Amino acid sequence: MGTVQLNNQGAEVRILQELLNLNGIIVTVDGMFGSKTYDAVTAFQKHHFDENSNPLLVDGIVGPSTWKSLMAYDKRITPGHGTTGDTYTLARIDLLHPKLREEVRKIYSEILQSNLRIRITDTLRSFDEQARLYAQGRTAPGKIVTKAKPGQSYHNYGLAVDFALLLPGGNKVSWDMDLDLNNNHKADWLEVVAIFKHYGWTWGGDWSFKDYPHFEKTFGYTTHQLLTLHQCLNNNNAYVNI
C-alpha cells in the first residue's frame, strides 16, 4: 500500500476509508481524500501507536506505520464491541433500578445509532462498595473520591449512571471531553449528555461540584427518603419501591 494524503483519490483511498470505519471512525467510502477523511485520519493517529508502541505522527498522511495500525483493527476488537453494544455496558444496565433499565437500553441504542461509543463504568453500587469508596482518602489510602456515605449516593439505589468514551478497538476508555471520534465536529461527550438530558436525566456536569461522567434520575426522591425506604426492606440488596 502506497502513501496517501489529502487530495488523492482512487482504490487505495477507498480501502483507507473502509479501514477507518472498521476502526470505529465513521467516514463516507467514496475514494476521495477530502477534508473529512483528513480529519478522520488525524483523529485515528491521535489515539494509536506504531508497531514499536510509539504514538503515530499526527500529520494526516497515511504512510506505512498508519496503514499497519489501521489494519490491526481486528486484533483490538474485544467480544461484544460493535453496533450491538459493549458487553460491560449491557451488563451494568441490567443492574439499574428496574424502572430505569428499559429507558437506558433505549438511550444506549440511540447513542450507538449516533455513531458514539461509550462504556457505562458504574450503575448500581452496593452500600458496602460505597463504604469502601468513602473510606478512601479518609481511613484508607488514596485520594478522596466521594462525599457520599453509604445510602447518600443515587448509585446505591441503581438510579445513577457513570460513563466514559470507548476508544476505537473497544478496550480502552477516555474521559477526554473534547474527543470527536465520530468525526461530526461535535464533542462526543456533549452529544451523549444531550441524549441523556432528552430523556430527563440530571447531569453532574451542571453542578457546582462538577461530576462530568455522572447522570441520575431521582423521580423526585431525596437520598434521605430513599434511605428510609431502603431500611424498610427485608433484603438489604433489593431495590426500593418507587
CB of 120 to Zn ion, least distance (A): 10
Q: Which is nearer to Zn ion, 117 or 155 (CB)?
A: 155
Residue 76 and residue 22: Cα distance in Å, rounded? 11
Q: Which is nearer to Zn ion, 47 or 119 (CB)?
A: 119
CB of 122 to Zn ion, least distance (A): 6
Q: Which residues pair with 202 in a beta bridge?
A: 216
Question: Is residue 58 exposed (0-12), middle (13-18) or buried (19+ Cβ within 10 Å)?
Answer: middle
CB of 91 to Zn ion, least distance (A): 17
CB of 96 to Zn ion, least distance (A): 12
Closest CA to 103 of 200, 209, 17, 214: 200
Q: Which is nearer to Zn ion, 48 or 214 (CB)?
A: 214
CB of 103 to Zn ion, least distance (A): 17
Q: Which is nearer to Zn ion, 3 or 222 (CB)?
A: 222
Q: Which is nearer to Zn ion, 77 or 127 (CB)?
A: 127
Residue 221 and residue 227: Cα distance in Å, rounded? 10
User: Quick one: residue 78, left, alpha or beta (phi over 0 = left, psi -120 to 50 = alpha)?
Assistant: beta
CB of 181 to Zn ion, least distance (A): 22
Q: Which is nearer to Zn ion, 70 or 124 (CB)?
A: 124
Whose CB is nearest to Zn ion? 214
Q: Which is nearer to Zn ion, 75 or 143 (CB)?
A: 143
Pairing of strands 173-174, 202-203: unpaired
Residues 216, 219, 220, 226, Cα dihedral to 10°:
-80
CB of 214 to Zn ion, least distance (A): 3
Q: Which residues pair with 165 in a beta bridge?
A: 118, 174
Residue 140 and residue 175: Cα distance in Å, rounded? 25
Closest CA to 214 of 166, 178, 149, 161: 161
Instruction: Match 505522527 to its residue by C-alpha cell.
Output: 57
Where are the extended beta strands (E) located within the chain? 118-122, 160-166, 173-174, 202-203, 214-216
Site residues for Zn ion per CB under 5 A: 160, 162, 214
